[in-house]
Amino acid sequence: MECMRCGAGTKLVQLVDPGPGGCPICARAKPKSIWDSEKMCVVDCYVCPQCGHIELTASKPELFRDI
Ligand SMILES: [Zn+2]
């Protein structure tokens, strides 16, 4: 992916909780009803090594189409 600020090539890194567990950061939507399941996916983080700009994207955006 290209950096939106400076145009350099960005790198995909993992966005994690800085706590002892170090769990990946996720996007989550609560279920609409008891028959629905919770929607959750990992957040991809693209960092620009030139200017430090960070872009976040949901790894599975299609999960949130009908929330
Ligand atoms: Zn940049």
**What phi, psi does 63 have (nearest 5°)?**
-65, -25
- 59 closest CA partner among 24, 21, 22, 9: 24
Residue 26 confidence class, pLDDT cut points 50, 70, 90:
very high
**Taking the model in full, what pTM does it have?**
0.80
pLDDT tens, position by position, 11-22: 999 999 999 988
User: Hey, how many other C-beta atoms are within 10 angstroms of the C-beta on 48?
Assistant: 20
Cα 31 to averaged position of ligand 1 atoms, centre (Å): 37
Cα 48 to averaged position of ligand 1 atoms, centre (Å): 5
Cα 44 to averaged position of ligand 1 atoms, centre (Å): 17
Cα 13 to averaged position of ligand 1 atoms, centre (Å): 15
